[in-house]
Amino acid sequence: MTVVATAHGKVRGTDEDGIAVFRGIPYAAAPVGEHRFRPPAPVTPWEGIRDATAFGPTAPKNPYRPPMDALLPDPDIPGDDCLNLNVWTPAPGGGSSPLPVMVWIHGGSLRNGSASLPVYDGRAFARDGVVLVSLNYRLGIEGFGVFPDAPANLGLRDQLAALAWVRENIHAFGGDPDQVTVFGESAGAICIAALLTSPYAEGLFHRAVIQSGAPMAVPPAKARTTTTAIARRLGIDATAEAFAAADRAALLAAQAAVTAGGNPLTGRAGFHLVVDGDVLPRDPATAPPGGPGDAVDLLVGCNTEEYRLWFVPGGHVERIGRLALRAAMVKFRVPWRAARIYRAARPGASPGEILGALATDLLLRVPANRLADARSAGPGHTFVYEFAWPSPVQGLGACHALEIGFVFDNLDTPDAHALAGPDAPQELAAAMHAAWVSFAATGDPGWARWNGDRPVMTFGRDGARVVRAPRDDERRLVAPRRAA
């Protein structure tokens, strides 16, 4: 057992193969009672030594629906203290040479996920000289509801509180508070793009990794529609006071009913970050140069076939025909000649696969390129990657979320097996993980920063290699419009 003193009290972790692990440390007060639907409040200090050997409670949420539940495990740990974090460190108690720190923000459409997944285990990072922190934050209506009587973006405020905890406490775990990299995937990556814009995040991290998430936020009126729909289903006012008085099980059931169906291309009722004039003063997708995040070094990218996680498991890709493809292209103002260009590079692709490739570019690859372009003249260095190794599982290919097991070098976990199968290439995981460690430690992942040649480190069947301006003929056809 290992004991470390934090600002709020001592915590006891476990020794796992030479790595000290602390789980379930509270970084803010439990969001219940007077703290429900309010910004995160400080932790009450404790006496004695607090046990930190088991993962803490997860935020209230619904499970994934079939068939996604088989591909994306989502453990549910009951309890009120869901604002907690975990630390993996090779140097507990601090030392003369503090280590770089990486802070993981999980994805899940802002309504699913937690830090307790096996694939997020941080031992490989600690093994390689990085202090790894993962955190939970409020989800769904409790984290991203929009009310007239409560602040917006409560889940994002939770993340800021966790980063402030890291700033104050990580030295005691052997980490360097002046060398913090925040990284995340999907909704977690969207949050990181927002943190790059937030004035409240200045000084809390120094590098960032955005995996498969586009910079975006919406006006309050648009985000409020989901809150209003859930309130209507419950028969209550769309206020934080009314939601706080509602039965939580009924609230989650109503949330599930309102947000069911759809996909990232066809749309659905969901939760969004909100341009609130406070913690998020502007849409990260249109933020002008000169903001607090411009000096932060950035690693950004996506997977070649993101859409396959959205379209394949439910059979959508087979049901999309030529007329549906044309209708979607009209809706998203993509010229019809784009279909011919995309099909030429994918012989034998079905209309659903062409639409999926377009969706991947519209929603993720084009915004990532646009962000890299916007930062190219700024003080922070930007690097771009693409994950292209195709999973053999259910024809998922290089789908959304597949890269996580490679980044964490955790291919042997059950959740990595669910997406990648049991025989994913360990050498590719070693290369990708090493790039993330190098970026956190030095600001250089091992290839040229973004420039006019558009270098993209591609992790694929042939290993890791730089490709210059991949598929730029396709990108240019959809780049003129703003992806949303």
Q: Which helix (H) or strand (E) holds 458?
A: strand 455-460
Q: Which helix (H) or strand (E) holds 299?
A: strand 297-303
Q: Which helix (H) or strand (E) holds 317?
A: helix 316-319
Give the total residue count for the chain.
Answer: 484
The pLDDT of 417-444, averaged and rounded, is: 98
Residue 265, pLDDT > 60, answer no
CA 326 to chain centre: 31
Residue 203, pLDDT > 80, answer yes
Which residue has tokens 């076939």? 305
Active-site entry in 186, 198, 212, 391? 186
Do the domains at 1-217+271-295 and 306-484 have one common CATH topology?
A: yes
Q: Where are the domains of the chain?
A: 1-217+271-295, 306-484
The confidence score (pLDDT) of residue 95 equals 65
The pLDDT tens digits for 183-198 are 999 999 999 999 999 9
Task: Give the span between the Cα atoms of 51 and 13, in whole angstroms.
Answer: 7
Q: Facing residues of 464 across strands?
A: 459
Q: Cα(first)–Cα(last) distance of the chain, in Å?
A: 48
- Residue 112 CB neighbours (<10 A): 21
Q: Comparing 331 with 407, which gets the higher pLDDT?
A: 407
How much of the chain exceeds pLDDT 70, in percent? 97
Q: Tell me which amino acid residue 367 is.
A: P
The pLDDT of 385-406, averaged and rounded, is: 98
How much of the chain exceeds pLDDT 90, in percent? 91
**What are the distances in angstroms from CA 417 to CA 320, 405, 424?**
28, 9, 8
Q: Facing residues of 368 across strands?
A: none
400 is an active site residue: yes
- pLDDT band, very low/low/confident/very high, at 93 (cuts 50, 70, 90): confident
- Specify the DSSP class assigned to residue 217: -
* SS3 call for 238: coil
Task: Give the span between the Cα atoms of 280 and 349, in whole angstroms.
Answer: 41
- pLDDT band, very low/low/confident/very high, at 69 (cuts 50, 70, 90): very high
Backbone angles phi, psi at 410, to 5 degrees: -125, 50
The confidence score (pLDDT) of residue 484 equals 33
Residue 482, pLDDT > 50, answer no
- Residue 354: which of 265, 457, 268 has the closest Cα? 265
The confidence score (pLDDT) of residue 80 equals 97
Task: Give the span between the Cα atoms of 438 and 53, in whole angstroms.
Answer: 29
- How far is it between the farthest Cα atoms of the chain? 68
The confidence score (pLDDT) of residue 483 equals 37
306 is an active site residue: yes
Active-site entry in 171, 272, 316, 400? 400
The pLDDT tens digits for 117-147 are 999 999 999 999 999 999 999 999 999 999 9
Residue 263, pLDDT > 70, answer no
Task: Give the span between the Cα atoms of 112 and 123, in whole angstroms.
Answer: 24
Residue 176, pLDDT > 90, answer yes
The confidence score (pLDDT) of residue 290 equals 74
Active-site entry in 142, 185, 306, 353? 306
The confidence score (pLDDT) of residue 73 equals 92
Q: In this structure, are residues 213 and 192 in contact, taking their beta carbons and an 8 Å threshold?
A: yes
The pLDDT of 293-303, averaged and rounded, is: 96
Which residue has tokens 């979607």? 328
The pLDDT of 212-230, averaged and rounded, is: 96
Considering the entire predicted model, what is its pTM?
0.97
Hey, what CATH class is 1-217+271-295 in?
alpha beta
The confidence score (pLDDT) of residue 266 equals 52
206 is an active site residue: no
Q: Which two tokens stand for residue 274?
A: 């909100």
CATH superfamily of 306-484: Alpha/Beta hydrolase fold, catalytic domain (3.40.50.1820)
